[in-house]
Amino acid sequence: MISSWLRRLATVVGAVALLSAPAMAQKMGSTNRNAPAIRQTYTVGNQSIELGYTAITWATGQWAAALKDEASRGEWRARINDSAPKSPLGSLKLTTALNIGGVKVDPGAWKVGFTLNDEFAWQITLIGEGGATLQVPLALKEVDESQKRLMLALAAGDEDGTAKIVVAFGNSRCNLVLAPAK
């Protein structure tokens, strides 16, 4: 009888621990269980960009409230930042070096994670095959439309040879310009 009660308690404690970790909640939480995986490719001549991501519901939840609270926001930023390399939300493959949002990114395969900088501003963290990391700041702006699922849309840029990634979640949006690296 006691061992049965202990097993049930351990199951509940384990479930709470999993759901409180942002990476696990993103992958296993009830609202993200059926999150679609999206892959897009942009090709100009023999150069290509391939972007893939999991469109999780991300604009609300326990972690969003915790980031607003001064007492818990540092701990939650650390949790979110630690989960990016372990549970990235996407991938990026480049056949040529590009400037992405002003940051030079070499060709190759990159994991895409979302992290918070020291001022609690969102950024994309790219994790390379050799463990190299790059942070691409997101100049998010509030818009009237709300997006429940994370969105990364790859689109042609305004000039030949350029592209852009539209990043959206909640009522925040930004465009990252992709241009040939100099």
Q: Tell me whether residue 145 is in a domain.
A: yes
Query: Where residue 182 falls among pLDDT bands split at 50, 70, 90?
Result: confident
% of the chain exceeding 90 in pLDDT: 60
Are the CB atoms for 53 and 37 separated by under 8 Å? yes
Q: How many CA atoms lie within 13 A of 111 on its CB side?
A: 17
Mean pLDDT, rounded, for 19-42: 62
| Residue 26 covered by a domain | no
How does the average pLDDT of the chain come out, rounded?
82
Please tell me the total count of domains within the chain.
1
Residue 9 counted as domain residue? no
- The pLDDT, as a whole number, for residue 61 is 65
Helices of type H across 21-162: 22-28, 62-68, 73-86
Asked whether residue 20 is assigned to any structural domain, the reply reads no
pLDDT digits (tens, 9 = 90+) for 37-82: 999 999 988 899 999 999 998 656 677 778 888 898 999 999 999 9
Would 2 be classed as within a structural domain?
Answer: no
Mean pLDDT, residues 82-108 taken together: 95
Q: Which domain holds residue 82?
A: 34-180
* Pairwise CA distance, residues 73 & 68, whole Å: 7
